[in-house]
Structure 1
C-alpha cells in the first residue's frame, strides 16, 4: 500500500485521511468525438468498498472500465488524464495490460463463466500467470478461491461440472472466485447483482462485505439501497461528471450538492 493520501479528504467533513490504492487525476474518456467522462479526479482507498451511483448513461461504468483499461477493447475510446495503481500510471507504454487486469480484476453485470468446468474456470488465471507450480498448488488455489467466494460447500463434489450449469447467483460467485484466484489488489464490479434475484443478491452483498478486508472494491450499482448497504464511500456521477464523493453516510443523509440531493430523493434518475 502506498502512502499517497486521499486528496478529497479535506473537502469532506468527517472523511479521514486514508491510503489510496488507486488515484485518478483529471480523467476524461472519449468515444470518438463524444466525451463520456469529463475531468474526474478521485482517490480509491484500500480495504473499502467504493460505490459509483448515478442515472443510466451518466458514465459510471465507463469510468469503472478505465480503471483496468477495459476501454482499450473499444477502437474509438480514448482516455486522457492520469490513473495510478500504487502510484504507477497504468496508461504508460510499459504497463503490461494482462498483468494489470490480474491486479485489477473485474466482475461484469451478467455472469460470464467460461464454457469449462468449475475447476477450470478458477484454474485458468493462475495457470496463465504462473501462480501454481504443481497440480497440488492449483487444487489449493481453486479451493481457497471458492471458499472465499462462499461457493466451496455447494460445488466441492461437482468441480468437473460445467460452470454454465450453475444457477445465476452461483455463476456470479464463480466469476468472483475466478477474479480473486489470481490474487488481485482491486476488484471492479459492474452492477454485479442486476441480473440476480433478491436471495442471490443478498449472498453477493455478504461476500462483498467479507472481501473488502482483503481488497479495494469498486462497485457500480443502479441501486442506491445497495450502495448504502455495502459501501463506505460513494461517488455520484451525472452527465459524465463526478458531482460529489465522500463517506456513504454523508452522501445519503447530508449531500453537499443540490444535484446529489435531487437524485437521492428521487427527483430524477
Structure 2
C-alpha cells in the first residue's frame, strides 16, 4: 500500500473506481481560478523543503519536463505534460507562427531543433503499431499548474507555490500563454475551487485536455509530495506505480500515474 512517509498513512481511496465520466467535467471555466496571489512572502526561488521531525525519508522531489519517472519519492514536480513540451517548442506570442518561430527561438536560446513532423514509433519494446506525432504547438495553449505546500501538515514544503508562480510567469512571458487559459491550484488560495484537492485536480485534468486538437500545446505542472504504491495491473517493471498527494490525501487518497495517463494522455 502507498504511504506518506512518517505519517503511517495507508491509502484506501479512490483509484480503482476510475475517473468520473468526462462529461461531468465539460464546462470548466478557467475564470473560476483567479490569478495567483502576488504575495508569496517567505518563498525562495530555490525551494528547500523543511521536514523538521518528519519521520522516515520524505517523499522526494521530481523536477522535469515531460512527465518523467520520479527519482526516489519528496517534493515532486511534473512539468510539461504536453504535445510536445512547450518549453522546447512553443512559439512566443510576438513572433509569427510556423517553422520560422522555432528557428528564431532556437537561434536565441540555443534550444534543440524543432521536432520531426511525421509519425514516430515509440521503440523501447512497444508494439510495432504504436506511433505518435509531435505537436508543432501552433494551436491553442492551455496550462494546468499545481503547487501544494501542505500548510499545517507534517512534511510541509516551502517552495511549491513559488514554483507555480514562476512557471506561470515564464509561460506567459516566453511562450505566449494567457492567464485566462491557465488553471492554477495552490493551497494558499481562499476560493475552494482553487484548492489542490483530489476532486479539483481530477476535474482540472479533464479541463486541460477537453476539446484538444492536433498541434495544441497543453502544459501540466505539479509541485508537491509524491510516492509509490503497489502496481495492481502489472504495467510497472519494479512493481510500483508512482503517485501524487493532493492537499486532502489523508481523507481522499492519492492519485496514481495510471489515472493521470488515462485522463491526460490516452485519448490524445
TM-score (ref. length: structure 2): 0.25
Q: TM-score, normalised by structure 1?
A: 0.25
Return the structure number with greater strand share: 1
